[in-house]
Amino acid sequence: MPQYAILIYEQETPGGVADIPPEVMEANLAVEAKIAAMGARVVNEQALQPSATTRTIHRDGLVTDGPFLESKEVIAGFFVVETTGLEQAVAIGKMLPIMNGAVEVRPLLAP
């Protein structure tokens, strides 16, 4: 089965996880079971530390604080899923509860 990265972009909040509404947290916790019910599988799931802990390494070796791209949203976490194809991966992305951001679905290269 093909694998897809599902990247979750959100605006960072000062309180971090504490600022996520309970209904959004509950919806996030229910996603894996819904994915399994679709016949797909979560291969990996990770939440990421705040962007303040991010370092970017540039081509010349310079290391800078924060993410390289300047935007209101940062990558808050990601899934790697095995699905029947892109349509199913997009359907999974649509199930994710997003507060103020977006979800990106990317096919992964086969090993």
Q: In terms of CATH architecture, what is 3-107?
A: 2-Layer Sandwich (3.30)
Read off the pLDDT of residues 6-59 as tens digits, 9 standing for 90 and up.
988 887 766 666 777 888 888 888 999 999 999 999 998 877 776 666 777 777
Distances (CA, A) of 77 to 12, 50, 60: 12, 10, 28
Question: pTM here?
Answer: 0.77
Contact 82, 41 (CB under 8 A): yes
Read off the pLDDT of residues 59-97 as tens digits, 9 standing for 90 and up.
788 887 765 555 667 788 888 999 999 999 999 999 998
Here the tokens at position 35 are: 């994915």
Sequence ranges of the domains in the chain? 3-107
Q: How far apart are CA 97 and CA 92, in angstroms?
A: 11
